[in-house]
Amino acid sequence: MKFTSGYWMVRKEITPLYAVEYADHRIIEEIGAKQLVIYAPASHIEKRGDQLNLGMLTIYLSSPAEDVIKVSVRHFEGAAYRGPFIDVQAEDAASAQAQVQIEETQTELRFRSGHTTAVIDKRPGMWGIRFYDDNRLLTESGYRNMAYMKNNDTGKNYVLEQLALDIDEYVYGLGERFTPFVKNGQTVDIWNEDGGTASEITYKNVPFYISNKGYGILVDNEGDVSFEIASEKVERVQFSVEGERLDYYLINGTTPKGTVSKYTALTGKPALPPAWSFGLWLTTSFTTNYDEATTSAFIQGMADRDIPLHVFHFDCFWMEGYEWCNFTWDPKTFPDPKEMLARYHEKGLKICVWINPYIGQKSPLFREGMAHGYLLKKTNGDVWQTDLWQAGAAVVDFTNPAAAAWYQGKLKALLDMGVDCFKTDFGERIPVRDIAYYDGSDPVKMHNYYPYLYNKAVFELLEKERGRGEAVLFARSATVGGQQFPVHWGGDCSASYPSMAETLRGGLSLACAGFGFWSHDISGFENTAPADVYKRWCQFGILSSHSRLHGSDSYRVPWMFDEEACEVLRTFVKLKCALMPYLYRQAVLSHQEGVPVMRPMFMEFPSDRACEPLDKQYMLGDSLLVAPVFQASGEVEYYVPEGKWYNLLTKKTVDGGKWQKETHDYFSLPLLVRPGSILAVGAQTDRPDYDFYEDVCLLIYLPQDHSTAQTEVTDLHGKTVMRVRAAREGCEIRVQVDCEKGSYQAEALGVEGLTVVESNV
């Protein structure tokens, strides 16, 4: 939201109140936590009378974790401040408080947490807060930046902050955004909507951005936060919220990767998905005509073509139309679902079914939910309903614990029948006008927060019934903290190369908020892709953390496109299964450290300026670079960081520090091994869940003399069972393997004449 007209003028309907100078401060200790409270009047004070009839901002500084500073800007503190609020999970509050130091000089106040310091200027008329990483300036708020704005036309009030952007500073993130990857110059409103992948609106809005300078800003407000990223003042990132208070966290991890790790320490790290979920998912598609004969034919068709299949998903019409959701199989289409699921399990498949949080009026659950008060209500006591999506649809009120338990009970019956996981669709179409939640939550803030409660309820049921490490969703909508409940997918894309590229762009933006596991509809949801796009998207889709064939009104089995599509899909699914020892170790690291498996190049190479704008390639873990092909010609242009890299598919080395332009057929693409890597490759190519440590092949890539590498291999529970170290001296690579169980062989990649020598102790 813009409040000014150019640099000097404020819009005619706006009355501003700026923090102008420091007036006083206090130090408050509550439950062992220190807060620095600063009072900043809206005008310079020269004499006593200047203090009269004057507004003031009150600013609280605190620290929930080391190197994290929370700033709370308040105008009228007596105004109601309702939740929901971001669930901040301070890892070690006592340790964080021990790091807090507050110092005062004649001209400054300094609030320090770890290596991060907020410096408040006390000089008359010189208001400002500067944030430092030790002595390195990160950003600052100064003259006419922190403000309270009154709109005289609407009667609405806003609090805003403007933080400085440095020369060549870029901003990333703010959720799964399909607009340009670098957010400078954009206006972004944090408001979940069902808008596909081809516009500025999105399903997963997260009021958190990171800078290439290595810090991040999280706005602690679940409502409609508005960001102006170098788009109102080109030297500033502005963010504003309606009301009397604005809270934000400055998170300093020194590097983008370190900051994402600290952010997820605050908001929750991703759960570790089961290994089977990394395999190939196939769905019925959305509005296609299917029954048990159809789904069985698809499953058998994949087996006949030797294409490993691991999860089968039933989309909406597993339930009868008009009754979404009744959580009951349509008897006309699936007369004996329990027996059908048992047969599919015997084939080694896991089963997923589509759900959403809406209850159509024709569903028997509507009357049941209405009778018990489980459905979202208007302020007059009526159940809120809409004809959008399903006739007379209502929304489950997950702020009511009894409603959440009721909803979970319906899903438990499906789990007992043989369902393994759920696609938690929707969660964006949540009303805000004349709405009364069970727990009194602010309806505007609940709009974005709703999918957090929805996915949390389903995920917790899966953890309870299937056990930790076996729970997995396929979720579309999300907000802060949603990364705890993987997996998320990119929503409704189109069957074209531009949509394929915008899908990746959205996934990389989402990765900046610590979403460790992400997928998308291979070959696009809307329309039907030509065989060319299908085959290229299969490469990209299988080399994502999670891989699903899904569409709208046509099937996505490869033989519907051409026979070569079957070969391409088979090749890459088997490749992914073989890479599972490496990929699952990366998944464990994502779970432990909060760094996404698929990550943008700038996150992995923060000192390489050429990586900063890249959005058509990514790192798959810390050792593999993937550059999908987005051209029918097979041409791909991509950037390689410094060093000599190795293409795992073509067996050719690639010189880094420059751009590469290549042409690939459907069975290859740039899949580069980073120098100084050990790639653990498994012995099985037909499934993703096996004993990774049995007959594992350790592919060691040390193109530079005197270089070293290390890695680990885990079991299916994420426990490390094999530690590997390698060092090159001349033409010899010495390998040490500390192995609790399993067997292995080691090979050198990419350099002729190297000998691998074991040096175990």
* Other Cβ atoms closer than 10 A to 594: 23
Contact 518, 598 (CB under 8 A): yes
What is the three-state SS of 82-96?
CCCCCCCCCCCHHHH
Alpha-carbon gap, residue 471 to 50, rounded angstroms: 62
The residue type of 28 is I
How far is 694 from 166, CA to CA, in rounded Å?
A: 51
Query: Does the annotation count 428 as an active-site position?
Result: yes
Backbone angles phi, psi at 456, to 5 degrees: -60, -45
- Dist. CA 560–CA 530, nearest whole Å: 10
Which has the closest alpha carbon to 365: 326, 314, 395, 406? 326
> How would you classify the pairing of strands 311-314 and 280-283?
parallel
Q: Which of 189, 263, 175, 178 is nearest to 229 (CA)?
A: 189
Closest by CA position to 149, among listed 54, 14, 241, 21: 14
Alpha helices in 241-305 (DSSP H): 256-267, 292-304
Strand partners, 217: 209, 250
Residue 526 a catalytic site member: no
Q: Which amino acid is at 672?
A: L
Give residue for tokens 């005289």. Answer: 152
Cα–Cα distance measured from residue 225 to residue 213, given in angstroms and rounded to the nearest whole number: 23
Render 450-491 in DSSP notation, one character per residue: HHHHHHHHHHHHHHHHH-TTS--B-B--B-TTGGGS--EE--
Which candidate in 161, 220, 323, 492 is catalytic?
492
CA distances from 278 to 300, 410, 561, 586, 620 (A): 21, 27, 24, 12, 13
- Of the candidates 220, 244, 420, 428, the residue annotated as catalytic is 428
CA distances from residue 585 to 171, 262, 596, 699 in whole angstroms, order as listed:
29, 20, 12, 15
3-state helix, strand, coil in the chain (%, to 5): 25, 30, 45
Q: Three-state SS for 752? A: coil
Give the Cα separation of 162 and 60 in Å (integer).
17
CA–CA separation, 737 and 244 (whole Å): 59
The residue whose two tokens read 């930046």 is: 145
List the one residue out of 311, 307, 308 whose CA is nearest residue 350.
311
Beta pairing class for 280-283 and 547-549: parallel
Q: Please say whether the beta carbons of 171 and 238 come within 8 A.
A: no
CA distance 34 to 66: 13
* Helix ranges, 246-291 (H): 256-267
Q: Which among 72, 66, 46, 22 has a CA at the least distance from the CA of 246?
A: 72
- For the record, the structure tokens of 170 come out as 């870029």
Q: Could you tell me the two tokens for 518?
A: 């992400």
Q: Which amino acid is it at 684?
A: Q
Q: Beta strand 644-647 with 671-673: parallel, antiparallel or unpaired? A: antiparallel
CA angle, corner 514, sides to 510 and 519, nearest 5? Answer: 50
Q: 740 catalytic, yes or no?
A: no
From the candidates 194, 425, 532, 622, which is the catalytic residue?
Answer: 425
Residue 442's contacts (CB-CB under 8 Å, 6 or more residues apart) are 82, 83, 84, 223
Distance CA 168, CA 165 (A): 8
> Residue type for 748, please?
A
Report which DSSP code applies to 48: G
Q: Enumerate the active-site residues.
A: 425, 428, 492
